[in-house]
Structure 1
Amino acid sequence: MTPKKLVLCLLGSFLITQAHAAAPDLAERWATLRAEQPKLQVRDAARALGASEAQLLATNIGKGVTRLQADGNQPREIMRAALDLGVVQAITRNENGVIETTGTASKFKQAGDKSEQGETKQKDPEQEARERNIAGGYLGGQIDLRFHFENWKYAFAVVQPGRDGKLTRSLQFFDAQGDSVHKVYLRNDAGVAVFEQIVAKFRLPEQSGELAVRAAPPKTQEKPDSQIDLKEFQLAWKDMTDVHQFARILREFHLTREQALRLAPAGLVERVTPQALRTLLEGAARDKVAIMVFLGNDGLTQIYSGKIEKTMEAGGFFNVLDPDFNLHIRDSALRSGWVVKRGGVTSVEFFDNDGVQVLSFFGVRERGKAQPQAWQDLADKLPRAK
Structure 2
Amino acid sequence: MKAHHRFALALTGALLLNYLPASAASLSERYDALRTSQPRLQARDAAKTLNVSEADLLAIGIGKTVTRLQEGENVPREIMRRALDLGTVMALTRNENGVLERTGVATRLKPQEEITGLDADKEKEREARMRNIAGGYLGGEIDMRFTFKNWKYAFAVVQPGKDGVVSRSLQFFDAHGDAVHKVYVKSEAGVPVFDKLVADFRNPVQSADLKVTAAPVKTAEKPDSAIDVKEFQMAWNELTDVHQFNRLLGEFGVSREQAMRLAPASSVQRVTPLAVRQLLEESAKQKLEIMAFLGNEAAIQIYSGKVSKVQEAAGWFNVLDPEFNLHLRDNAFNSGYVIKRAGVTSVEFFDKNGELVVSFFGVRERNKPQPQSWVDMTAALPKAGADRR
2:18 aligned partner = none
* Residue deviations 1:137-190 (CA, integer Å, cap 9, x gap): 000000000000011010000000112222100000001110100000000000
Shift of residue 36, structure 1, vs aligned partner: 1.4
Partner of 1:376 in structure 2?
375
| Aligned position for 1:357 | 356
Deviation of residue 125 (structure 1)?
3.6
The Cα of 1:111 is off from its aligned counterpart by 1.6
| Structure 2 match to 1:117 | none
| 2:36 paired residue number | 35
Please say if residues 24 and 59 of structure 1, whose CA atoms lie closer than 8 Å, have aligned partners that are also in contact.
no
Paired residue for 1:76? 77
What does residue 16 of structure 2 align with? none
Q: 1:319-334 alignment to 2 at 5 Å?
A: 319-334=318-333
Amino acid corresponding to residue 61 of structure 2 in structure 1: N
Distance between the aligned counterparts of 2:131 and 2:377, measured in 1? Answer: 35
1:163 aligns with 2:141: no
CA separation in 2, counterparts of 1:377 and 1:150? 40
Match of 1:180 in 2: 179
CA RMSD of aligned residues (A): 1.8
Query: Which position in structure 1 is the counterpart of 2:9?
Result: none
Letter in 2 for 1:326: N
Asked whether the 8 Å contact 1:237–1:264 carries over to 2, the reply is: yes
Contact 1:23–1:59, Cα closer than 8 Å, also in 2? no
Contact 1:295–1:301 (Cα < 8 Å) also in 2: yes
Q: Does 1:270 align with 2:269?
A: yes
Q: Which runs of 4+ in 1 moved over 6 A?
A: 21-24, 120-123
Aligned residues: 360
Residue identity opposite 2:134 in structure 1: A
Q: Which amino acid in the other structure matches residue 363 of structure 1?
A: G
Match of residue 249 from structure 2: 250
Report the equivalent of 1:107.
Answer: 108
- Structure-1 residue corresponding to 2:151: 152
> Which structure 1 segments of 5+ residues have no match?
1-20, 114-119
Partners in 2 of 1:268 and 1:199 — Cα distance? 49
Amino acid at match of 1:219: K
Q: Give, in whole Å, the separation in 2 of the partners of 1:355 and 1:122.
A: 34
1:89 shift after superposition: 0.0
Q: Which amino acid aligns with 1:206?
A: V
How big is each residue's C-alpha offset from its partner over 1:8-57, in whole Å with a ceiling of 9 and x where there is no partner? xxxxxxxxxxxxx9797001111111121110011110000011110011
- Answer yes or no: is the 8 Å Cα contact 1:70–1:152 preserved in 2: no
Give the match's secondary structure for 1:138: strand
Max Rg structure: 1
Q: What residue ranges of structure 2 are gaps of 5+ in the alignment?
A: 1-21
Kindly provide the amino acid, as one letter, of the partner of residue 140 in structure 2: G
Residue 237 of structure 2 corresponds to which residue in structure 1? 238
Partner of 1:367, secondary structure, is: coil
Please give the residue correspondences for 1:262-341 in structure 2 after superposition, counting only pairs within 5 Å: 262-341=261-340
Question: Which residue matches 2:3?
Answer: none
The letter of the residue matching 2:135 is: G
Structure-2-length-normalised TM-score: 0.90
What letter corresponds to residue 38 of structure 1 in structure 2?
Answer: P
Task: State whether residues 23 and 209 of structure 1, in contact with CA within 8 Å, keep that contact through their aligned partners in structure 2.
Answer: no
Partners of 1:255 and 1:339 in 2: CA distance = 18
C-alpha displacement at 1:286, in angstroms?
0.3
Cα pair 1:102 1:325 within 8 Å, conserved: yes
C-alpha distance in 2, partners of 1:289/1:22?
55
Residue in structure 2 matched with residue 56 of structure 1 by the alignment = 57
Q: Scaled by the length of structure 1, what TM-score is found?
A: 0.90
1:131, distance to aligned residue in structure 2 (A): 3.9
Distance (Å, rounded) in 2 between the aligned partners of 1:128 and 1:324: 31
User: What are the equivalent positions in structure 2 for 1:203-242 lying under 5 Å apart?
Assistant: 203-242=202-241
1:96-118 CA-to-partner distances (Å, cap 9, x unmatched) read: 000000000000000279xxxxx
- Within 1, Cα distance between the matches of 2:346 and 2:136? 26
Structure 2 residue aligned with 1:4: none
Separation in 1 of the partners of 2:48 and 2:81? 32
